[in-house]
Amino acid sequence: MSLREGFSTLFKRPPPIVKPTSEVYAAGAITTKTSRLIIAGVAVLFLSGLAAFIAQGFFQPLALLAYSLLPVALLLGWAMRTDRYEPEPKSLILMVIGLGGALSALFTVVTIPGGLLGYMVKVFLAELVFFLILAGLDSNRVTGREFNDHLDGAVYGLALGAGFIAYSNYLTILAGGYAAPLAATAFALERLFTMVFPGLTGWWIGYVKAKYVSINFASLFAGFVPVLVLRLFYEGLLTAFAGFSLPVRAVLTTVVGVLFVAVLARRVRWAVEDEKIWGYAAGLAPVEKK
């Protein structure tokens, strides 16, 4: 494995994985009891937060939640629907979304010198933490048995990004973004497409697991570097777009963002094709808890 393969698989179909590692067929390790505990914990946190928002007035918090959650939910929902042969435990997906939200909250209090360089450092740190969390999910003896292949990795990566972006969008709107809906929409679009990058990172981690070896940090990092380069390129484009009016900026962001989504969508399609080769469509997929 090398940086070359990490870059090439962003754009070129790698040879199908005909003989995957044994871990591809490993059954999940999350029990029904564990799944229920995770869901209960997430539900308590969500309801507590919702109660606090409603205390400030009913309709505005719900409207803000819908605005901040809907775009990322659509993209994550597409990935989960595509993962039809071996759907991931909903409790684990919710937990990963929560991790993303917690990480976003943490980054709001992290102080980094201002300016373009400081912003790029913050972007780098965010992507690095995404990578480390996804690598941790892959290596953990419990969650790692759910993280079987590259399609699973894309789902968990998008879930992590969904939590991060939804919370960031909510803070922007809560701070007064609803008073300038066009600006809020432009910011939401810019953030929406950043979901692609942890999705690509997760895909690579699952690809390594399915094709080569379960855990090898150097191999995992080799595929993260191209994703980081792609993210920094995206941020560079957003910086160039900042000089345009908001409507033009939103259109340009959408065009570029759709191209990045297409890169992820191709990787997802390749992963589905590999799962068919492994017999998942014929019922050989490992059993996962709901």
Instruction: Report how far residue 136's alpha carbon sits from residue 144's, in angstroms, rounded to the nearest whole number.
Output: 8
Among residues 191, 206, 203, 271, which one has the least CA distance to residue 238?
Answer: 191
pLDDT score for 143: 84
pLDDT score for 271: 95
Tell me the pTM.
0.88
* Predicted confidence pLDDT, tens digits, the chain (290 residues): 578 899 999 999 999 999 998 888 877 666 666 656 655 665 665 565 556 555 555 555 555 666 667 778 888 999 999 999 988 888 889 889 989 988 998 888 877 777 888 888 899 999 999 999 999 999 888 888 888 899 999 999 999 999 999 888 877 777 765 557 777 778 888 898 999 999 999 999 999 999 987 567 888 999 999 999 999 999 999 999 989 998 899 899 999 999 999 999 999 999 999 999 999 888 877 776 65
pLDDT score for 188: 82
Q: Is 2 left (phi over 0), alpha (psi -120 to 50) or beta?
A: beta
Tens of pLDDT along 192-206? 899 999 999 999 999
DSSP 195-213: GHHHHHHHHHHHHHHHHT-
How far are the Cα atoms of 88, 154, 229 from residue 222, in angstroms, in the given order? Answer: 26, 17, 12
For 257, the token pair is 């963002």
For 59, the token pair is 């309709």
pLDDT score for 230: 96
User: What values do phi and psi take at 21, rounded to 5?
Assistant: -65, 160
